[in-house]
Structure 1
Amino acid sequence: MTDFQQDAVRLAAQQQSPDWLASLRQQAAEDWLQASWPTRKTEHWKYTPLLPLQKDGFKHWAKATSDWQSAVEFIDLDATRLVFVNGVFDAANSSALPEGVVRFCDATDSARALIQQHLGKVVDGDRHLFATLSNAWAADGVLVHVPRNQALEKPVYIVHVSTPGVEPAIANQRVLVVLEESARAEIIEHYLSTDAVQNSFVNSLSEMVVGDNAELQHYRLNLEEENLLHLGGVHVNLLRNARLRAFTLAQGSRLKRIDYQVNHRGAGADLNLQGIYLPRNNQVVDYHTNVQHCVPHCTTNEIFRGIIADSAHAVFNGRIHIFPDAQKTLAELSNKNLLTSNKAEVDTKPELEIYADDVKCAHGATVSQLNATALYYLQSRGVSRQEAEVMMSFGFINELLQDIAEPAVQDYLLPRLARLFGRDGEFLQRLHHE
Structure 2
Amino acid sequence: MTDFQQQAIKLAAQQQPLAWLEHFRALAANEWLAQPWPTRKTEHWKYTPLQGLQKTQLTSWGVAGIAANHVQSEFIPLDAHRLVFVNGVLDVANSTMESTYLVRFSQASAEQQALIQTHLGKIVEGERHLFATLNNAWLDDGVLLYVPRNQRLDKPVYIVNIATDTCAANQRLLIVLDDNAQAEVIEHYFSQADIQDGFANSLTEIHIGDGAQLQHYRLNLEAEQAQHIGAVHVNLQRNARLRGFALALGARVMRIDYQINHRGQGAELDLQGIYVPRNQQVVDYHTNVCHWVPHCTSNEVFRGIISDSAQAIFNGRIYIHKDAQKTLAELSNKNLLTSNKAEINTKPELEIYADDVKCAHGATISQLNENARYYLQSRGLSRADADVMLSFGFINELLEQIAQPAVHDYLQPRLAALFGRDMSLHTAAGMAELSND
The range that moved more, 7-16 or 84-93, is 7-16
Instruction: Decide whether the 8 Å contact of 1:286 with 1:314 is kept in 2.
Output: yes
After TM superposition, give the deviation of residue 240 of structure 1 in Å.
Answer: 0.2
Q: Please name the residue that 2:3 is paired with.
A: 3
Q: Please name the residue that 1:385 is paired with.
A: 383
Distance 1:429 1:15 in 2: 50
The range that moved more, 62-71 or 99-108, is 62-71
Instruction: Decide whether the 8 Å contact of 1:182 with 1:215 is kept in 2.
Output: yes
Q: Please name the residue that 2:326 is paired with.
A: 328
Equivalent runs, 1:391-430 vs 2, <5 Å? 391-424=389-422, 426-428=423-425, 430=427
Distance 1:77 1:67 in 2: 17
Distance 2:270 2:160 in 1: 23
After TM superposition, give the deviation of residue 198 of structure 1 in Å.
Answer: 3.9
| Offset from partner CA, 1:37-72 (integer Å, 9 cap, x none) | 000000000001211111121222122334633135
Instruction: Decide whether the 8 Å contact of 2:231 with 2:257 is kept in 1.
Output: yes
Q: Please name the residue that 2:292 is paired with.
A: 294
Q: Please name the residue that 1:431 is paired with.
A: 428
Partner of 2:48, secondary structure, is coil
TM-score w.r.t. the length of structure 1 is: 0.97
After TM superposition, give the deviation of residue 124 of structure 1 in Å.
Answer: 2.1
Mapped pair 1:17 → 2:17:
yes
* Backbone CA RMSD of aligned residues: 1.3
After TM superposition, give the deviation of residue 4 of structure 1 in Å.
Answer: 0.6
Q: Please name the residue that 2:137 is paired with.
A: 136
Partner of 1:14, secondary structure, is coil
Partner of 1:49, secondary structure, is coil
Write the letter of the residue equivalent to 1:84: F
Distance 2:337 2:68 in 1: 34
Distance 2:103 2:253 in 1: 31
Write the letter of the residue equivalent to 2:164: T
Distance 1:373 1:430 in 2: 17
After TM superposition, give the deviation of residue 433 of structure 1 in Å.
Answer: 8.4
After TM superposition, give the deviation of residue 14 of structure 1 in Å.
Answer: 1.3
Write the letter of the residue equivalent to 1:132: T
Instruction: Decide whether the 8 Å contact of 1:313 with 1:346 is kept in 2.
Output: yes
Instruction: Decide whether the 8 Å contact of 1:315 with 1:348 is kept in 2.
Output: yes
Q: Runs of 5+ in structure 2 lacking a partner?
A: 432-437
Partner of 2:388, secondary structure, is helix
Partner of 1:83, secondary structure, is strand
Distance 2:97 2:116 in 1: 21
Mapped pair 1:41 → 2:38:
no
Distance 1:180 1:301 in 2: 24
Q: Please name the residue that 2:159 is paired with.
A: 158
After TM superposition, give the deviation of residue 11 of structure 1 in Å.
Answer: 1.1
| Offset from partner CA, 1:152-178 (integer Å, 9 cap, x none) | 00100000000124xxx2100000000
After TM superposition, give the deviation of residue 329 of structure 1 in Å.
Answer: 0.2
Write the letter of the residue equivalent to 1:149: N
Q: Runs of 5+ in structure 1 lacking a partner?
A: none
Partner of 1:98, secondary structure, is coil
| Offset from partner CA, 1:54-112 (integer Å, 9 cap, x none) | 11212221223346331351011110000000000011000133111001111111111
The range that moved more, 204-213 or 98-107, is 98-107
Q: Please name the residue that 1:78 is paired with.
A: 79
Write the letter of the residue equivalent to 1:43: E
Write the letter of the residue equivalent to 1:228: A
Change (3 A) 1:208 1:365: same
Partner of 2:313, secondary structure, is strand
After TM superposition, give the deviation of residue 428 of structure 1 in Å.
Answer: 4.1
- Kindly tell me the number of residue pairs found equivalent between the two proteins: 430
Distance 1:98 1:280 in 2: 39
The range that moved more, 307-316 or 50-59, is 50-59
Write the letter of the residue equivalent to 1:252: G
After TM superposition, give the deviation of residue 385 of structure 1 in Å.
Answer: 1.4
After TM superposition, give the deviation of residue 372 of structure 1 in Å.
Answer: 1.7
Mapped pair 1:250 → 2:248:
yes
